A and B are shown apart, each in its own frame.
Chain A
Amino acid sequence: MRCIAIFIFLNTSLSSFSQTIVRGLVKDKNQNPISNAILTITESSKNTFLNYGFSDKQGRYEIKFSSLADSVTLEVRLLGYSPVTGKITNETQVVNFNLQESVFELKEFKVKPEPIKKNGDTLSYSVSAFKNKNDRVIADIIRKLPGIEVEPNGRILYQGEPINKYYIEGMDLLEGRYKIANDNLNAEAVTDIEVIENHQPIRMLDSLVLSNKAALNIKLKKNITTTGQLSLATGLPAALWDVNLTPMLFTKKKQFLGSYQTNNIGKNNTSQLMRLTPGIYKDGLPTPENKQDWLGIQQLSNPSFKSLRWLDNNSHLASINILKTLKKDTELRLIADYSNDTQIQQGYTQTLFFTSKEDSIRLTESKYNKLHFNNLKSDLTLQKNTKKKYFKNSLKSKAYWDNQTGLITNNNGDFTQLLENPFFNISNDYKNLLRIGKSIVTLNSRTGFEKTPQSLTVSPGSFTPLISKDSLKNTIRQEVIQTSFFTDNSLQWLKRVKRISIGTEIGFIVEKQKLESAITSPSESFGNVYTNQLNWLNQKYYVNLQSRYRKGGLNVSLETPVHFYSFQIKDKVLNKGESLEKITFEPALNINYQLNQFWATYLSSGSKNGFGDLNQMYYGYILTSYRDINRSDAPLLQTLTLTNSVGISYKNPVNSTFGSLNFSNSKRRNNLIFENHLNEDGGSQRDAIEKVNYNNNNSLGGRLAKYFRTIKTTLTLSASLSSQESVQIINNELSRINLRTFTPNFLLSSQPLSWFGVDYGYKLSCFKNIIIGVPRQKIIQQNHELKLNINPKDNTYFAIINELYNNNFTHYESVFTDLICRQTVGKKKVDLELNWTNIFNVKSLLAVNSGTFSYIETFYRLRPAQLTFKVRFSL
């Protein structure tokens, strides 16, 4: 009985909330089913939806709903048909519809658009919105802006692309050397940071040549701002220091930034003066440093890891940057950088020369080198950059008063090397844009003058190769004076025809050089064969046509430059010379093809002619180091290189697998062969003789990377295999030299926890020289690096770095450990940093390198264990 009562209760309660189901068909007047009609059930009294549904392909619909009302409203609506509405009783039933087409159209409407604030392509970020208590300099803010990243070397990226200009109040004070401002400009002084997207630095090209790069502009709070930075560091064991003082002044018409930095902790602070934006002269390539070192002392090659471990320095750096606005939108800017550095290298090298099939010479040299750099660079620029006119003229000068002293001890005794290698360069870059018809033609011109008066004094001079030893008990002195004048002028324009785009450039280069050299000694006079009085004139006229074709996944580009070369080389004293005229055609073809979403291939092929430079073309001997004497009493070096490469790559981001395989071959034809005479004591003499020979290089490289999602870890495996074949004459024997290298690599990078990350890298490098078919000892070097990063709190950071290095040649092994702790404290946001490098006080490093026919073992004295403590605050 109780069971029945419960059953009844349940039944009634269900019925009061029970679902009503309305179903049926929706058809048009021809009885064809209509899909996608919207059917709604509303409470008749209110405007509340009970439920809704849609008719399917067969016109069927079904709506379930629950309501206490007696009747509900069923409505069917569909675009292009008249809506139908009806009251139905609240019970499960079938309701069919026949809809009538109607011409009823929905009314169109538009909300009045809000006036959009238009600032062109400029985004403005308010510094106060981004600034927090740990931020001190403007770089700290810039790092946080949406879309901006700052690389460890200071370069700023916007949307992954490097910025092309860094302005302060719209003026380019630093010409791309912006790290010095970014790291030292106090954030308090700045109100906004503007990102100018698609910034074309040349206003005349503003709407004509689109730029994908962004520029950054720093807007200051006050019209007149003085600001800057001061940091001090000191440490143990010796009296270590690291000081940075950088004051700045900005007004509407004038800007100034000065800096003085000094340290002896092994920091190479010239990086602050490194240019980080592209230049505007010709394709934006920065000017190469063209200092020619004719002479040198025997160096110790620097270890390949960070300078704090090995650089024994005492460096001073000063920089002055001034910009002034003249009338008519013309700007005058002066930049002057001065650096003074004394570096000490200590250690020894063991060089193993392979002189023939069986023989080798071992030379041990203990070295103590003192390098002194004393450089002054300046840049005076006048620029006008308006919508109608563009020109820029930079007058640059460089003066280096460098000298080096080297004390060397080898099997034959002690030698002193004194090198004076100053360098003077003055150059002028000019760029002007001309409007010719509808197109703009660019005129580029660069002219420069250079002087390199160098000298090397070796005492005693008795080790000098080629020269009789007995007479040189005192000193021997080599002097070289090179002067050169060069000018490069060109016109560029671009044209496009259908699917092909063609760029044209015509221009000429004139290079006039003079080389004077002589070997002298107080006790001996030398013949003309030890002197040079060389006049060199090189002219080049060129036309370069670049065409490009693309369709779908295929991309073909072809370069067809034609050069006319003319060389006039004359040494009056030695009565030798050469004149040469030659037309070269150096086509290069590049094809890329995307096979499908995972695979892509490429093929490239090209030929290139090369001609010897002044430093490969002199008829008299030059003592280039205390044990090397060289000349090239032969015709001008001419080479023809053919390079072919193919590759295939695979990317599958879905399972995070990436791979690639590349092969490249290059063959070079040389008209000259180097002839080396190695004395038993390690001294060498090099000549060049005319004999056609070929170099052949092959390299194969592969890479495979995979990311494991569950353990947040990337594994990378890569390897490269290469073989280089060349021909040289060593001690009268024609020798084919083959250098083979194999370098497999393994990397693991993992960030398992938000406050903890680990990186591990293993690198093996293996190389072997094969001389005239005789393989020499295989050298294997291994390098392990383990880095642990820990961020327990926002303002605290720890890192432990461990490095293990060993090689089989000397059975050497060492372990390096560094520790870094950083803490930011107080209202004044003072940074405290403790740096403990080389904790286990490893005193030296032994590394092995390979030369063309030699192995060089270098023992380098490292900096001892070092503890520095640094405090940094704003001016």
Chain B
Amino acid sequence: MKSIIFVLLFIFIHFESSSQNYQVTYDITFSPNSNNLNYRSKEKGLLIISNNRESVFVTENFLIVDSLLIQMDEKDLDPYSELDNFRKTSSKNFFKTYIKKDYEKKGTETFQLLGISQYKYDQNNYLKWDLHSDTLKLNNMICHKATTKYAGRQYVAWFTTEIPIPDGPFKFYGLPGMIVKISDTENHFNFELVSFEKVVKIKISRPYLYNEAIEVSQKEFIKLQNETILTPLKQITDAGMVITSGDISKSTGPRKQKTNFIERE
């Protein structure tokens, strides 16, 4: 697996002669279904920091899916067999997002797959952190507590000034040090830093489907996301595809398994 990721990084990230670049790995444990919160799932998040100016956060599974798409196109692998591989990883991939942060602009650009379409939206200065005096030793680093509110959830973050990079997993950033652990107060989503490694000079490229993405506002996106999940087949039937077997009204209606979104609003 390790070697696959390494190869993937080569595909995903172009080389550039520049200064320090780091790859930070987070273990994400989360409850994907809101009506069965005890069911926990796991993914690996990768934060790739380039030049202390910008970063990209993706999950390992997203990267596999994305590079498969690239390979299918460029190397022209057999689409039939690769599609299987694609779906296999895709089904395990909960965080179907590509988040690019620009430290200077204090903003993120998010690319996300939803249903049958790809979307892109920008967000700026959306986090307001409150710092607390509590400290905690995590991974042998002194961490400070900070709290914030984002997209309908309260978060507690632990950051360290020992890594002076104002970044973190997912869309979290802007603290005076790297976020080592962050979780929401309901503990539906928990990110924990597990490795911090130097990587060779890199420049982060865009995901494969980037150019096909539809630009929306974050508000619009959340609306679409909630709709897609409430009635997962609606988008498909609206698009004119016919679901041949069974009662369409039932399958286009609300689904019993409800996705527990990290971003609620």
Contacts and interface: CB of A to CB of B under 8 A. Distances in A.
Contact of A49 (B131, B216, B227): B131
Interface in A147-161: 147-149, 151-153, 155, 159-161
A108 interface: yes
Interface stretch (A260-268, A450-458, A647-655): A647-655
A501 B53 contact: no
B91 interface: yes
Contacts of B198: 105-106, 108
Interface stretch (A204-212, A350-358, A686-694): A204-212
Contact of A651 (B76, B117, B139): B117
Contacts of B252: 714, 749
Contacts of B240: 649, 658-660, 703, 705
Contact of B238 (A56, A75, A501, A707): A707
Nearest to B81: A210
B91 A159 contact: yes
B251 A151 contact: yes
A75 B144 CA distance: 16
A48 B146 CA distance: 11
B90 to A, nearest CB: 8
Contact of A653 (B131, B135, B224, B250): B224
A113 B195 CA distance: 10
Interface stretch (A32-40, A89-97, A733-741, A772-780): A32-40
Contacts of B149: none
A436 interface: no
Contact of A152 (B140, B144, B164, B247): B247
Contacts of A660: 239-240
A111 B139 contact: yes
A147 B73 contact: no
A516 interface: no
Interface in A181-238: 197-198, 209-212
Interface in B187-219: 193-198, 212-214, 216
A714 B164 contact: no
B220 interface: yes
A40 B161 contact: yes
A36 B53 contact: yes
A751 B161 contact: no
B78 A143 contact: no
A514 B169 CA distance: 74
Contact of B87 (A148, A212, A501, A649): A212
A592 to B, nearest CB: 12
Interface stretch (A77-85, A318-326, A374-382, A671-679): A77-85
Nearest to A113: B194
B88 A198 contact: yes
B46 to A, nearest CB: 14
Nearest to B250: A152
Interface in A626-677: 649, 651-654, 656, 658-660
B220 A77 contact: no
B254 A751 contact: yes
A146 interface: yes
Interface in B109-158: 114-119, 131, 133, 135, 139-140, 142, 144
Interface string B71-87: 00100101111011101
B177 interface: yes
B70 to A, nearest CB: 12
A152 B245 CA distance: 8
Contacts of B14: none
A197 B91 contact: yes
A656 B238 contact: yes
Nearest to B85: A210
Given A129-B38, A146-B257, A597 B213 contact: yes
Given A78-B164, A110-B194, A160-B232, 15 more contacts: A36-B104, A40-B176, A47-B135, A79-B164, A79-B165, A108-B196, A146-B36, A149-B251, A151-B251, A152-B246, A159-B91, A197-B91, A552-B73, A654-B214, A703-B240
8 contacts: A49-B144, A51-B131, A54-B103, A80-B52, A212-B84, A656-B227, A751-B253, A757-B253
